[in-house]
Amino acid sequence: MNTILQDLHIHTVYSVGDSAVVPQMTIDFIASLEHADIRGISDHFEYLQGEIFETYRHDVRAHGFYLGCEINTGEETREAVEYPYDYFIYHCRDRESEYRGAEFLVSTGKPVIISHPMAMGANLARVPRECFIEINNRYIWRGDYMNYFSPWTGEFNFVFGSDAHQPNWLNQTIARKAAGDLGIEESILFPKPTPAGTR
């Protein structure tokens, strides 16, 4: 039993253009750390299009992880839904096109996690209520989270995530502290996987 139940926001070497990702951050290495019961890999969608997708999918599945991606814009949602992801993580900025992108992702029926909405400037009044709102370790402490999230704690379901980049990698200490301050309980999106290779 891990202290972290679920971590669906993890970046790896597949995020090739992300300057906060280093060569040691392989899926193999993450698998060996066993830091959470339910884990998903969510590299940036812009680096997963075309041929590389099959390599990524195989690598993620071979280690028993859920298959996700992080989508940067409303326009990218159109292409992302063509791939067999288990869930989507989405940057929702305060723009009409980005709220429409969130609605489009929700229409797939797959879980949609709004990543670090305070850092992106999302207006939660305009985010579809079916979305899960992320409290993430990388960004939560950088703003007035009590003021931003308090009106919405009863409106949405929430998930906690690392947004794992170096140096503060694979950790939810601050996210969990902030969620505790807000009285938020975590939604668990997937069953705990059976050992690698059997699903």
| Chain contacts with Zn ion (rule: CB under 5 A) | 70, 115, 163
Q: Which helix or strand (DSSP H or E) is residue 132 part of?
A: strand 132-136
Nearer to Zn ion, 143 or 191 (CB): 143
Q: Which helix or strand (DSSP H or E) is residue 157 part of?
A: strand 157-161
Report in angstroms how near the CB of residue 9 gets to Zn ion at its nearest.
Answer: 6
Nearer to Zn ion, 59 or 70 (CB): 70
Nearer to Zn ion, 47 or 194 (CB): 47
Nearest to 56 by CA among 95, 92, 99, 10: 10
Report in angstroms how near the CB of residue 116 gets to Zn ion at its nearest.
Answer: 6
Report in angstroms how near the CB of residue 11 gets to Zn ion at its nearest.
Answer: 6
Report in angstroms how near the CB of residue 77 gets to Zn ion at its nearest.
Answer: 15
Nearer to Zn ion, 63 or 165 (CB): 165
Q: What angle do CA 89, 156, 142 make, to 5 degrees?
A: 65
Q: Which residue has the tokens 């060569």?
A: 23
| Backbone phi, psi, residue 81, to 5° | -70, -10
